[in-house]
Amino acid sequence: MNITVMHWRVILLAFTALVTGGPALWMALRPSRVASRLGMRGLKRQRALLDPTWAALDPLVRWMGLRMSPLLDKKTREKLDKDLMYAGDFMGVTVDEYVGLLALAGFAGAALGGVVAFIDGRFAFLVPVLFGVGLSIPHVLVDNARVERFRAINRGLPYAIDLMALSMSAGLDFPGALAQVVNKAKANEALKDELGYILQQFHLGRTRAQVLKELAARVPIEAVREFVHALLQAEERGTPVASALEIQASTARVRRANLAETAASDMRGKMVLPTMMIIGVSMTLIAIPSTMMIDKITGGMK
């Protein structure tokens, strides 16, 4: 019996359905458990649900996350939880839901590749390729959110420290100064979220040292570590916190200015090659018509 192109397409479609449908059926039969919604992550989930697209996907992500939960060991779960925390509790998803989102994106990419391969069998390689691409998209989004969050906090922290120092010099305590920054300052959203979280922890009765150490764990960048270290040292030695904040704000501004100068110097070096390329292309565009015109004129004179 001769196997036609249509037969190969049917075989490919059946294989794709078996590969994607088998794990999906197995996960669908797994027992469910109640997902937790606590703290900052729950607040971020409420904000994310204001987006109609995410609100439509949320039940499916929860369902998939509950079934992916048994596949995660303790070490992997802790690592993924840190990644989500560094990204500002991205979309309010839990670790299980994040893994479920990875799986859904991978299956969607494989399904798209299967459709393309069914239409034209020459593109069968797109099934694993698009599966890998879909699997990587949520990871890329989370990593970009982490980078943007760290950059925003690094930029806004010196001004927030200045305002806290002024507020404490005017007679407010440290939680009161934090409240001034959160409620009245024009700080960026990432910084206001972190300072608001600190203020919430104070209201729950946690000590300053505990809250500051948690801040350093949630935002492990140099500016935050120095800020936390300065306040902890001031508390241990009994020095005024307002003075420590003023010194820390000055140090943060100097560091930011140095980083800006370094970035500007690096940019000048990086602009040399594009500038030379633009000049070369411009000279080529001018030289070719000029050469053609000269050849035409000299040919006419002959």
Digit-by-digit pLDDT tens for the chain (302 residues) are 455 656 656 666 666 666 555 555 555 555 544 444 456 777 788 888 888 888 888 888 888 888 888 888 888 888 999 999 898 888 888 888 899 899 899 888 888 888 888 787 777 778 888 888 888 899 999 999 999 999 888 888 888 888 888 888 888 888 888 888 888 777 688 888 888 888 888 888 888 888 888 889 889 888 888 888 888 888 788 777 777 887 777 777 777 777 667 766 666 666 666 777 777 667 766 766 666 666 666 665 55
What is the DSSP secondary structure assignment for residue 123, as one 8-state letter?
A: G
**Nearest residue to 93 (alpha-carbon basis) of 33, 153, 27, 138:** 138
How many other CB atoms sit within 10 Å of the CB of residue 73?
7
Report d(CA 270, CA 260) in Å as an integer.
15
- What are the DSSP calls for 21-77, one per residue? HHHHHHHHTSPP-PPP--HHHHHHHHHHTTSHHHHHHHHHHHHHHHHHGGG--HHHH
- C-alpha to C-alpha distances, 106 to 29, 102, 182, 191, 264, nearest whole angstrom: 20, 6, 39, 33, 40
CB 191 within 8 A of CB 156: yes
**Nearest residue to 116 (alpha-carbon basis) of 7, 22, 16:** 16
Structure tokens at 54: 């995410």
Is pTM beyond 0.85? Reply is: no
**What is residue 203's three-state secondary structure?**
helix
Report d(CA 130, CA 58) in Å as an integer.
23
- What are the DSSP calls for 185-226, one per residue? S---HHHHHHHHHHHHHHHTT--HHHHHHHHHHHS-SHHHHH
- CA-atom Rg of the chain in angstroms: 29
Which residue has 């203020």 as its token pair?
199
Which residue has 């919604």 as its token pair?
37
CB 133 within 8 A of CB 72: no
